[in-house]
Amino acid sequence: MGYTFMVPAKILSGTNVIDELSGHIKGKGTKALIVTDPFMVKFGNAAKVEAALKKGNIPYAIYDGANAEPTDKIVEGGLAAYRAEKCDFLIALGGGSPMDTAKAIAFLSVSKGKLRDYMHVDIDMEVPYLVAIPTTAGTGSEVTKNTIIADTENNVKMLLGGPSIIPALAVVDPTFTMTAPPKVTAATGIDALCHAIEAYTSRKAQPLTDTFALSAIKKIHKNLPLCYADGKNVEARLAMSIAATEAGIAFNNASVTIVHGMSRPIGALFHIAHGVSNAILLPACMKFAIEENTERFATIARVMGVADDLTPAHDAAKAFVKEVARFCKAVGIPTIEELGVKKDDFFAQLSKMADDALESGSPQNTMRVPTKDQLIAIYKELY
């Protein structure tokens, strides 16, 4: 059996590599649109990119409308700015939202129709050159072929993707993550952990994705608590940045599974940050998933150091579930009740959330494929 493995054409990584940006993008376009959010401007991260562009005499404009949960309206606003400013390539700066927004702008700038027209379509067309600069260690969007955009008319998160929207250049510089507060550090770090765990246990896993996934799991398990406790720990921040990219490469090629499938409807309906909703679901989803993929979950337990080679596989898998629950609590992940979501409101949406999760296709990548009723049961476990 053969496998396909896709990564960006170039990944630039290391502390302060942003200073080298202009040399890598010279000639890729005549004017860049920096797609970011107001916080990146406020806290000086956008200024670092601007300085790098000025160093290479590369013209640019800024669109800072990409908020925490990108919508089709936000993408349309960015596309209008891209055209009005006569830009011909893009630089995404921020967490997953600016990167998702920039990806959508890139392919919409050369295509027709609305975003929803590209649901379940393999997006494969020539798009503008795209640079992705993550400011969190989590989403892995800098190396993936997917973008998640909310459809405001139908109140659903659209998973769109294809080889065209893998960024051409990923700039993995941990200095950008230093401004991330502990809550953001935790949520995005757990998101990366989910990417790696789901990629390793996916039906679509392959030898190369296994390598990246297990490396990411080991780094995240060791370094996320360090970053959460001390955001200025440069060594831990660098390890987390590399781990998030490794996890992104892994799930870009092996897909995500039940956690992400169930997480997106929670985010769409209750406006909970993606990484947080993943973390809330992780223990319950893993308890469900280990039953038909015990050996792989046992391997993760051993990588995490909560089991050894002498531990029976089933016991190791259970130790893994216990450890992810402890780990989420250790980095301050709240419960869904603590986020202010009322039980009655949540339960009223159970059927829709389960349907939307299945519609995404992600739960079906789990070795133990869930039914709608089983998804509903997992949702109920959150209370």
How much is the pLDDT for 334? 95
| Residues 148 and 277 occupy one common structural domain | no
- Choosing from 177, 204, 229, the residue where a domain stops is 177
Q: Residue 3: inside a domain, yes or no?
A: no
pLDDT at 179: 85
Determine contact, residues 130/106, Cβ cutoff 8 Å: yes
- The answer as to whether 300 is a domain residue is yes
Asked if residue 283 belongs to a domain, the reply is yes
Closest CA to 45 of 5, 110, 6, 98: 98
For residues 148 and 230, membership in a common domain is answered with no
**Number of domain units in the chain:** 2
CB 194 within 8 A of CB 256: yes
202 and 143: one domain? no
Tokens of 277: 């909703």
Q: Is residue 2 part of a domain?
A: no
Does residue 125 share a domain with residue 108?
A: yes
Same domain, residue pair 123 and 243: no
Residues 6+ apart with CB under 8 A from 348: none
What's the CATH code of the domain at 209? 1.20.1090.10
Range of the structural domain that residue 96 is part of: 10-177
Residue type, 194: C
CA distance 101 to 77: 10
Rounded to whole angstroms, the Cα distance separating 253 from 249 reads 7
For residues 320 and 298, the answer to whether their CB atoms sit within 8 Å is: yes
User: What whole-number distance in Å separates Cα of residue 336 and Cα of residue 321?
Assistant: 19
Angle at the Cα of 295 from the Cα atoms of 292 and 300, rounded to 5 degrees: 115
The secondary structure element, H or E, covering residue 32 is strand 32-35
Tell me whether strands 89-94 and 32-35 are parallel, antiparallel or unpaired.
parallel
Q: Kindly report the pTM of this predicted structure.
A: 0.92
State which H helix or E strand residue 229 sits in. Answer: helix 207-229
Do both 157 and 252 map to the same domain?
no
Pick left, alpha or beta for residue 57 (phi over 0 → left; psi -120 to 50 → alpha; otherwise beta): left
Question: For residue 21, what is the enclosing H or E element?
Answer: helix 21-25
CA dihedral 111, 117, 120, 124 (to 10 degrees): 0
- Asked whether 139 and 260 are in contact (CB, 8 A), the reply is no
CB-based contact 331:224 (threshold 8 Å): yes
Here the tokens at position 184 are 């953001």
Q: How far apart are CA 265 and CA 285, in angstroms?
A: 15
Which sign, positive or negative, has the C-alpha torsion 208, 250, 24, 83?
Answer: positive
CATH no. for residue 39? 3.40.50.1970
- pLDDT at res. 1: 75
Q: Which of 177, 212, 240 is the last residue of a domain?
A: 177
Q: What residues contact 2, with CB distance under 8 A and at least 6 apart?
A: none
Where does a domain end: 118, 145, 177? Answer: 177
Task: Name the β-bridge partners of 62.
Answer: 34
- pLDDT value of position 113: 84
Domain-embedded: residue 205: yes
Same domain, yes or no: 361 and 213:
yes
Residue with tokens 């379509």: 121
CA distance to 193, 250, 300, 327, per residue, from 306 (Å): 16, 23, 9, 12
The dihedrals phi and psi of 333, each to the nearest 5 degrees, come to: -70, 125
Please indicate, yes or no, if residue 5 is contained in any of the structural domains. Answer: no
Q: Residues 60, 202: one domain?
A: no
One domain, residues 172 and 196? no
Which pLDDT value is given to residue 69? 80
> Does one domain contain both 48 and 192?
no
**Quick one: pLDDT at residue 112?**
84
- Give per-10-residue mean pLDDT for the chain (383 aa): 92 96 96 96 95 96 90 96 98 94 96 88 95 95 93 85 95 94 95 98 98 98 98 96 98 97 92 92 97 97 98 98 97 95 97 94 96 98 95
238 and 109 share one domain: no
For the beta carbon of residue 183, count every other beta carbon within 10 angstroms: 16
Q: Are residues 248 and 327 in the same domain?
A: yes
